[in-house]
A and B are shown apart, each in its own frame.
Chain A
Amino acid sequence: MNITENLQYISFNLFVKCYCFVLAIIFLVNSHNQLLYFKSNVKRKYINSQKIFNLITIPLITKKVFVFYGFSFVISLIFIVFDFFTTISGLLAIFFYFMYFSQIQSLSYIQRKTNTIPIILLVIVVSSIYNFPTYIFGHVWEILLLKIVFSQMYLSAGINKIRLGGLRWLNGHSTQAYLLENYLWNGNKLTLLISNNIVFCAFLSYLIFLYEVSFWIIIIYPQFTLFFVLFSLSFHLSTNYLMKINYLKYLAPFYFIFFIDNKTFIFELLKYYDQFILFFKR
């Protein structure tokens, strides 16, 4: 095994720690809001019972159990950060994820936006069973798979636009209509201003579609990573401002996977990780 391959394996382990740590922080910051949503869902009118793989129905739970599952989810993530029974902690985190998040799936920043969490945790679990790197197509399989999981979100969204809307989806009318609908709900003047300009809406439609169907290119050509990731971030920040759709809240830590191949970035992170561990050992 050469140094580059070794470094890839180290980078994945570093990704696991960064991802779980940041995810735990995001979860803690939003836990109060999520609890309020859980409580506000009077008579569970807007909670759809989620079925895992369209098979396993997740039962509705009480407030106390909801809080317990949330707390246990964070503890499991922290255990993974400290390499403490990673396999079991990962499996427990997946279980707690489904029990907790399925109760608040209808919350705007949860719906579909946290779907990658159990997949990432499952990759961590399978990876932790072996303590040595395995390579597929010259890459550590975990990093390659997670990049594919990430890219599938956009590729599938792009394909769906043509499947459901047809090529006419690109003429700008759909983008215009969605923006107008959001203006009618939220009253953001900029949303209306953009929606009034059909040429600009058509331009946005092409831009979004091309970006979605070509995002996967960064798996093969990592030199385009910065371009696509910056575009992706600005796209999500814009939709958050214009349409109140916050995609980044739980997805943001997943972006680490695209920078983890960068050697300078890894060394900087390793330095911080060492300091972090030292702080707790003191």
Chain B
Amino acid sequence: MILSFVFFFAVIFVLAFITYKGIEFYPFSSFPMFSNYLEKEQIKIYRILLKNDLGQVEWWNPRFDRYQIYIGSELKKCYSTLDSQIVNRAIINLNKKKILRFVHEMIICDNVNDFKIDTFEIIERKKTENCIVEVTVDVFRLEELLK
């Protein structure tokens, strides 16, 4: 009976502490998702468009859609580093190729359809006042990546 009381109040204490401090204490969590203040002008994502040798295109849609968000945030880092002009462009370019090689590995792993990839295009997507803007920021041929 004492154990039940101690356990009850111990769990309540941890929950209250986590909530008050807003920290992660796995498996306890303060659930901070979607809590940051954002404005639509800050939203800019990087998606990958696949193109075959006939010129047909399709978005890279992995079986587990979180992957495109992870890859997109890595690409975003590459382009924001480029903006600040601190690091050598060649290193950033190598990093982009490394990311795309990883994407290629995942496409093979997913094996969803027989779309023969010829080119990877990195597309920047954002919204302006009236419409969605899509800009191709980089193009990499598959053979160039696999070299």
Contact = CB atoms under 8 A, between A and B. Distances in A.
Interface stretch (A3-11, A68-76, A128-136, A254-262): A128-136
B26 A157 contact: no
Nearest to B126: A184
A144 B12 CA distance: 11
A152 B28 CA distance: 10
A161 B35 CA distance: 4
B127 to A, nearest CB: 6
B43 A180 contact: yes
Interface in A246-280: none
Nearest to A179: B40
Contact of B105 (A42, A119, A144, A195): A42
Given A108-B65, A136-B8, A164-B35, A185 B15 contact: no
A176 B40 contact: yes
Interface in A105-146: 106-108, 112, 115-119, 123, 126-127, 129-130, 134, 136, 141, 144-145
A169 B38 CA distance: 8
Interface stretch (B17-25, B86-94, B138-146): B17-25
B64 A107 contact: yes
Contacts of A236: none
Contact of A53 (B26, B102, B110): B26
Interface in A53-73: 53-54
A82 interface: no
B12 A148 contact: yes
B36 A164 contact: yes
Contacts of A244: 65
B42 interface: yes
Contact of B19 (A136, A159, A178): A159
Chain A interface helix/strand/loop/mixed? helix
Contact of B64 (A40, A126, A153, A184): A40
Contacts of B4: 126-127, 130, 134, 141
Interface residues of A, number: 61
A168 interface: yes
A53 B25 contact: yes
B31 interface: yes
A177 B42 contact: yes
A160 B30 contact: yes
A54 B25 CA distance: 6
A129 B38 contact: no
A58 to B, nearest CB: 9
Contact of B109 (A42, A106, A117): A42
A136 B10 CA distance: 14
A224 interface: no
Interface string A163-177: 111101100011011
Interface string B36-61: 11111011010100000000000000
B19 A155 contact: yes
B33 to A, nearest CB: 7
B106 to A, nearest CB: 6
Interface of A: 36-37, 39-40, 42, 45-46, 50-54, 106-108, 112, 115-119, 123, 126-127, 129-130, 134, 136, 141, 144-145, 148-149, 152-157, 159-161, 163-166, 168-169, 173-174, 176-178, 180-181, 184-186, 192, 195, 244
Given A127-B4, A156-B19, 8 more contacts: A46-B66, A148-B11, A169-B37, A177-B39, A178-B34, A181-B38, A185-B65, A185-B72
Interface of B: 1, 3-5, 7-8, 11-12, 15, 18-19, 22, 24-40, 42-43, 45, 47, 63-70, 72, 102, 105-106, 109-110, 125-127, 132
